[in-house]
A and B are shown apart, each in its own frame.
Chain A
Amino acid sequence: MTARPPVPPVSGRPRAVRLGDWSLRVAPRALLVWVLLVLTAFAVAVLAISTGEFTVPVPDVLAALFGDGPPVAELIVNKLRAPRVLTGLLVGAAFGLSGAIFQSLTRNPLGSPDFIGFSAGASTGGILVVVSGGSAAQIAAGSMTGCVVTALLVYLAAFRRGVQGYRLVLVGIGANALLIATNNYLLTRANINDAATAGAWLTGSLGGRDWSYVLPLTVALAVLLPACAYVSRPLRMIEMGDDSARAMGIRVEAVRAVAIVAGVLLCGVATAAAGPVAFVALAAPQLARRLTRSPGVTMASSALVGAVLLTAADLAAQRVIAPAQLPVGVLTAAIGGTYLALLLRKDRH
Chain B
Amino acid sequence: MARSELAVPSATRLSGAGLTLAYDQRVVAEHLDVAIPDSSFTVIIGPNACGKSTLLRALARMLRPRKGAVHLDGGLITSLPSKEVARRLGLLPQSSIVPDGITVADLVGRGRYPHQRLMRQWSRADETAVAEAMRATDVAVLADRIVDELSGGQRQRVWLAMALAQETSILLLDEPTTFLDIAHQIEVLDLCAELHETGRTMVAVLHDLNQACRYATHLIVMREGRIVAQGDPSGIVTPELVRQVFDLRCEIIPDPQTGTPLIVPESRRRVRVAS
Give chain A's interface residues, CB within 8 Å of chain B: 9-16, 18, 21-25, 107, 161, 233, 236-237, 239-241, 243-244, 246-251, 289, 293, 295-296
CB of B166 within 8 Å of the partner chain:
yes
The answer to whether A246 and B61 have CB atoms under 8 Å apart is yes
A18-B123 CB under 8 A given contacts A237-B110, A248-B86, A248-B113: yes
Chain A residues closer than 8 Å to B93, beta-carbon distance: 241, 243-244, 247
Report Cα–Cα, A11/B86, bound state, in Å.
Answer: 25
Report Cα–Cα, A29/B215, bound state, in Å.
Answer: 45
CB of B229 within 8 Å of the partner chain:
no
Chain B residues closer than 8 Å to A237, beta-carbon distance: 110, 113
Which 3 A-B residue pairings sit nearest by Cβ, starting from the closest? A249-B86, A10-B101, A16-B122
A290: nearest residue on chain B (CB-CB)? B101
A248-B119 CB under 8 A given contacts A18-B124, A295-B100: no
Min CB–CB distance B4 → chain A (angstroms): 32
The answer to whether A248 and B123 have CB atoms under 8 Å apart is no
5 A–B contacts, CB within 8 A, in A order: A13-B103, A14-B130, A237-B110, A247-B86, A248-B111
Number of A-B contacts (CB under 8 A): 121
The answer to whether A295 and B101 have CB atoms under 8 Å apart is yes
Give chain B's interface residues, CB within 8 Å of chain A: 23-24, 57, 60-62, 81-87, 90-103, 105-106, 109-111, 113-114, 119-124, 126-127, 130, 143-146, 163, 166
A14: nearest residue on chain B (CB-CB)? B109
Report Cα–Cα, A213/B92, bound state, in Å.
Answer: 49
Report Cα–Cα, A248/B112, bound state, in Å.
Answer: 8
Min CB–CB distance A65 → chain B (angstroms): 34
Chain B residues closer than 8 Å to A247, beta-carbon distance: 60, 62, 86, 90-93, 163, 166
Chain B residues closer than 8 Å to A21, beta-carbon distance: 120, 123
Chain B residues closer than 8 Å to A25, beta-carbon distance: 121-122
Report Cα–Cα, A107/B97, bound state, in Å.
Answer: 10
A107: nearest residue on chain B (CB-CB)? B97
Report Cα–Cα, A10/B124, bound state, in Å.
Answer: 23
Report Cα–Cα, A23/B128, bound state, in Å.
Answer: 14
Chain B residues closer than 8 Å to A22, beta-carbon distance: 119-120
The answer to whether B103 and A10 have CB atoms under 8 Å apart is yes
Report Cα–Cα, A248/B114, bound state, in Å.
Answer: 6
Chain A residues closer than 8 Å to B85, beta-carbon distance: 249
Min CB–CB distance B134 → chain A (angstroms): 10
The answer to whether A243 and B123 have CB atoms under 8 Å apart is no
The answer to whether B105 and A241 have CB atoms under 8 Å apart is no
Chain B residues closer than 8 Å to A295, beta-carbon distance: 99-103, 106
Report Cα–Cα, A167/B119, bound state, in Å.
Answer: 36
Max count, chain B CB within 10 A of own CB: residue among A9, A250, A296: A9
Min CB–CB distance A56 → chain B (angstroms): 43
